[in-house]
Amino acid sequence: MVLVGVAVGGALALVAVLIPWLPSADAEEAGPVDQVYWFVTIICIVIFALVAGVSVYAVWKFRAAPDDEDDGSPIHGHTGLEVVWTAVPAALVTAISIYSGVVLVQIERIPPEHRVVEVTAQQFAWSFTYEENGTQITSGTLALPVDQPVELKLTARDVIHSFWVPEWRMKKDAVPGIETDIVVTPSKVGNFTVVCTELCGLGHATMRAQAVVLTQQGFEDWLREQRRLAEQAGSAQGATLFTQQCGTCHALADAGTTAEVGPNLDNVLPGKGADFIQESIVNPNAEITPGFQPDVMPGNFGEVLSQQQLDSLVEYLQEVAGQR
Ligand code: HEC
Ligand SMILES: [Cu+2]
């Protein structure tokens, strides 16, 4: 019976390992995390096959005959068996905790040379702030150079969110009032998705951002472009801000955004003045567009954006509204 259990467990473990169930592993930290995952999963599969095998066998072998009304025969336990089924799980659980502890220390070690990006979560958007040569750059996209460790310092403005890029495996909560951090070393160039994995409100499912891993040269070009945009003034800055802060929810042809979480601004903006636009941004619940829910659009743009940024955004939207 034990042999059958182990054979079935072994076969299932092969199915688990040979089929690619997990997303590709595209950061240095992903390898050790996957090894812990499979270590635990294979132990679980073999133990499950064994326990299920014994249970099914016992149900079949020791079942009562239909006319058997007797009490079962008294049983006094089996000390040897009890020692085994206590000692084996204890050893396995200890092995799991030691192994995952070792991996945790390994992947959380902050290397001496690393870049820092501040990650801010709010209902329902991510923003990423870089401090490069004295200039502060904020972007709605997380761009990183390949093969370089980066420390992401996470915080939240309103409720608890959680940062996760499945292909990097690393995941941690972003909590209001404190700073948490993870270190990640992306190992593959490409586009990935940052997802929020902590149910954080009505728009939780839309709380996604793009993570772009670039070559060293590509990353430097990106930084230069961001610095240029940050130095722009007026409606040009407003256009950039719109793409970063609003484009994940609103469609606007001029900005090339197509999201449908909020109203299509090409339809609602024409004819609207600066006061209305400003009020809609700072105080979105003052008037709810028919067909949409309150409390989806973040209510704190008045604090998140500087007065100058707000002005340039309103100027830009007014310009777009006037064009049509
Ligand atoms: C998380 C999604 C989300 C984000 C981000 C967001 N909005 Fe909204 N927005 C909505 C929703 C939903 C509504 C409709 C409900 C309401 O009126 O509050 C709305 C309403 C509006 C309206 C009113 C439209 C009308 O019918 O009059 C304007 C204007 C607007 N948003 C502009 C912006 C601007 C500018 C930004 C960026 C600073 C932004 N929004 C960011 C979801 C969002
Ligand atoms: Cu969230």
Helix axis angle, 307-323 to 234-241, nearest 10°: 90
Pocket of ligand 1 (CB under 6 A): 124-125, 203, 245-246, 248-250, 261-263, 268, 277, 280-281, 284-285, 288-289, 292, 294, 296-298, 301, 313
Query: Cα(166)–Cα(191) distance, rounded to whole angstroms?
Result: 12
Nearest atom, ligand 1, residue 287 CA: 17
Q: Which ligand is nearest to the CA of 206?
A: 1
Q: Can you give the CATH number for the domain in which 134 is found?
A: 2.60.40.420
* pLDDT tens digit sequence for 190-218: 999 999 999 998 889 988 989 999 999 99
Q: Report whether 239 contacts 256 (CB < 8 A).
A: no
pTM listed for this prediction: 0.68
- The pLDDT assigned to 324 comes to 39
Please report whether residue 217 resides in a domain.
Answer: yes
**Tokens at 98, concatenated:** 């030691």
Strands 135-139 and 125-132: antiparallel
Instruction: Fill in the DSSP letter of residue 23.
Output: P
Are 262 and 217 part of one and the same domain?
A: no
Ligand 2 mean position to 54 CA, how many Å? 44
Residue 13 makes CB contacts below 8 A (sequence gap 6+) with 42, 45, 46
- The pLDDT assigned to 153 comes to 96
Residues facing residue 209 across a β-bridge:
194
User: Considering 228, 259, 289, which residue would you say is the last residue of a domain?
Assistant: 228
Please report whether residue 68 resides in a domain.
Answer: no
Compute the C-alpha angle 53/54/57, nearest 5°: 85
Residue-wise DSSP of 128-164: EEEEETTEEEEESSEEEETT--EEEEEEESSS-EEEE
- The pLDDT assigned to 233 comes to 65
Testing ligand 1's pocket by substitution, the residue of 237, 249, 292, 314 carrying the most ligand atoms inside 8 A of its CB is 249
Are 187 and 127 part of one and the same domain?
A: yes
| Percent of the chain with pLDDT strictly greater than 70 | 99
Residue segments in the chain with a per-residue pLDDT below the cut of 50 = 324
Instruction: Determine the structural domain holding residue 145 and report its residue range.
Output: 115-228
